Amino acid sequence: MKLRIASSLLALLIMVMAGCGAKQEAVETEQAAGALDTAAVVTASPAPTLAPTPTPVPTPKPNYIVDSAFQVVCETSVNMRAEPSSKAALVAEVPNGERVEVLSYAERYTEVKVISSGQVGYIIGGYLKPEEDLLGFAVVTAPFGETEDAAFNYTYDQMLLDIDALVSAYPDKLAVESAGKSVEGRELKVLVLGDVNAKHHVFVQGAIHAREHATAFLSMALAEKWLEDGLPYPEVCFHILPMSNPDGATVNQTLQFNKKIQAIYFDDGSTGRSTLAGAEYLAEWKANINGVDLNRNFDAMWDRVNTCPSPSYSDYRGDKAESEPETKALVAYTKKYDFDATVSYHATGSMIYWEFGPNSPVNEASLSLGRAVAGVSAYKMENDDGSSFGGYKDWASYKMNIPSITIEIGTRAAPLPGTDFYNIWLRNRDVLTAIAKWVTENGK
């Protein structure tokens, strides 16, 4: 009996010792993996592998949002709204000189954060000036006048000087052509950026409305940037007519009457088309020297233009389509090249017009082009409301079947003040790149 008990105790002791030894080895294996032999590697359970946590990739800021702080430039203060609308709730009155950070753009409004208080809201972008020089033009002359808040006048004569300077600076990349002459004989100069034998061609024209001559300066600035960048899309040739209405722009800038303008002035006053007097009347001048609104003078449902019956500072369509030498010049130049797209720069509002006439493939292409430009400018796409006819964009798309858009750049009333140009430049400086990319992917 004692022998059986002793044998049982001995067997139990051997089993316990064997089990503890195996368990201890497993613990050590987990604690010191470097001491494993080959057999241990085969039999040990591998540790689970955890997928690395991906590092968040920050969304790049659009090029029109910069790190520079801005200052409010106004007489006393500007309203800051909760939404980008004059009807939105008033958040604060931001005083002149206050420093802000630009967050985004929405139509003619800029979303800002007031640096001193942290308040966020929307103010009209034309009241903001960057603390750093964001223009940096080496050739074209910024026409900011005596005070930056005053209307800046980029004159026809200054434009000619700047064109000559650009040709001198970039003789192998820039040529100059003439599209024709104005009523008073001013040459309608076209800057040809790139090879005229390039696969793709784009026509850009500005200042067809006299009081919107800020678009002439923008066109020249865009030309300089494109040249400075080395014509980044050599397969695209840009043709830029900065000032389509030099006679009218001169009237608006000099504020001087001649006999023809005086007769129109008295007619506008006697018929009630304008109640403005003297220089204030000329500051609103929109037409060419004949009193014809050139952007109502093209053969694009011209008979449907809502017009006054005689020459005026604004909105007279002329006695027939293409009655004016400036209109004829634009038509002839557009037919001279096989353009993939046309762009018209205007200065009232901050939006892009793309549509004209019945739905058609060219309207769809214009919509696509407009969206490409909106992507780099944050301008709103605007549908045709069916009330505007006879414009250059309308004619180019409707009669010539060329995808065409109108870009409105201003945040305040034309003629635009100098401070408005800062937000305009930030929102437009990549437009030619967007257009060039679009035509290479969608052009003829």
pLDDT in tens, 221-242: 999 999 999 999 999 999 999 9
Q: What CA–CA distance (Å, rounded) separates 307 from 316?
A: 5
Of 53-62, 110-119, 196-205, where does mean pLDDT reach its minimum? 53-62
Residue 24: per-residue pLDDT:
39
Q: Indicate the range of 164-178, 227-241, 382-396 predicted with least confidence.
A: 382-396
What percent of the chain lies above the pLDDT cut of 90?
A: 80
Report whether 242 contacts 206 (CB < 8 A): yes
CA-wise closest residue to 68 among 135, 136, 131 = 131
425-437 confidence digits (pLDDT tens): 999 999 999 999 9
* Residue-level pLDDT at 257: 96
φ/ψ bin of 441: left (φ > 0), alpha (ψ from -120 to 50), beta (otherwise): alpha
Sign of the torsion formed by the C-alpha atoms of 337, 343, 346 and 347: negative
High-pLDDT (> 70) share of the chain, %: 88
Query: CB under 8 Å to 251, separation ≥6 — which residues?
Result: 210, 261, 282, 285, 289
Per-residue pLDDT reduced to its tens digit, 40-97? 344 455 566 666 777 776 678 899 999 999 999 999 999 999 999 999 999 999 999 9
Between residues 364 and 40, which one has the greater pLDDT? 364
What does the alpha-carbon distance between residue 108 and residue 336 come to, in Å, rounded to a whole number? 36
Q: What is the mean pLDDT of residues 103-127?
A: 97
Task: Copy the structure tokens of residue 57.
Answer: 């990739």
Compute the distance between CA of residue 249 and CA of residue 316 in angstroms, rounded to an integer: 17
Residue carrying the six token digits 């206050």: 98
Nearest to 443 by CA among 178, 222, 203: 203
Evaluate if residue 310 carries a pLDDT over 90: yes
CA 372 from centroid of its chain's CA atoms: 10
Q: What pLDDT sits at residue 91? A: 96
Closest CA to 97 of 115, 111, 84, 118: 115
Residue 54's pLDDT is 74
- Structure tokens given for 284: 């609103």
For the segment 8-17, what is each residue's pLDDT rounded down to a tens digit?
A: 434 433 343 4
Region at 151 (left for phi over 0; alpha for psi -120 to 50; beta for the rest)? beta
Phi, psi of 351 (to 5 degrees): -160, 170
- Three-class DSSP category at 343: strand
Q: How far is the C-alpha of 253 from the C-alpha of 415, rounded, in Å?
A: 9
The 3-class secondary structure across 106-118, one letter per residue, is: ECCEEEEEECCCC
d(C-alpha 214, C-alpha 242), whole Å: 10
Count of beta carbons in the 10 Å neighbourhood of residue 234: 13
Structure tokens at 319: 């006695």
In the chain, the domains with their CATH numbers are 70-130 (2.30.30.40), 156-251+295-442 (3.40.630.10)
User: Would you say 344 and 314 are in contact if contact means Cβ atoms under 8 Å apart?
Assistant: no
Q: SS3 for 76-126, per residue?
A: CEEEEECCCCCCCCEEEEEECCCEEEEEEEECCEEEEEECCCCCEEEEEHH
Q: Which residue has the tokens 């139509």?
A: 107
Q: Is the pLDDT of residue 26 over 50?
A: no
